[in-house]
Copies of this chain bind each other. A is one copy, B any other.
């Protein structure tokens, strides 16, 4: 008896595609994930890219995390992991200041987000095409 796994984060204000792309056919679904791996594990995946988008939107790691139902601790670790693996940093953080600080994407960060979505869209089309012929 296995309980349904809890979603990794709550979709909040935006209509969010699921982290697992899926295609249903007669009771079965072809699902899948893709991600880009760097020198030390995952570099960019669905959740990380959504996080980057939220950071760009809110200008803050903590607000981005909260908007996804993700702990700040986890979000920070993801940001750190991304920046440590990127050739050029994708995220710029600043501490202190009038508003306490903030975080924004670099140009490379915006390009990375766009690049990932491009591949992800093709992946969804792949699942769509191949999932149509499931018979078990």
Contacts and interface: CB of A to CB of B under 8 A. Distances in A.
Interface of A: 2, 22, 27-41, 43-44, 86-87, 108, 111-112, 115, 119, 122-123, 126-127, 130, 134-136
A136 B34 contact: no
A35 B30 CA distance: 6
Nearest to A40: B2
Nearest to A125: B126
A122 B115 contact: no
Complex copy number for this chain: 2
B28 A36 contact: yes
Contacts of A119: 30, 130
Contacts of A32: 32-35, 123
Nearest to A20: B37
Residues of A contacting B: mostly: mixed
A3 to B, nearest CB: 10
A103 to B, nearest CB: 19
The 5 closest A-B pairs by CB, nearest first: A32-B34, A29-B37, A31-B37, A126-B126, A119-B130
Given A32-B33, A33-B33, 11 more contacts: A2-B41, A27-B38, A28-B38, A30-B35, A31-B34, A31-B35, A32-B32, A32-B34, A115-B135, A115-B136, A119-B130
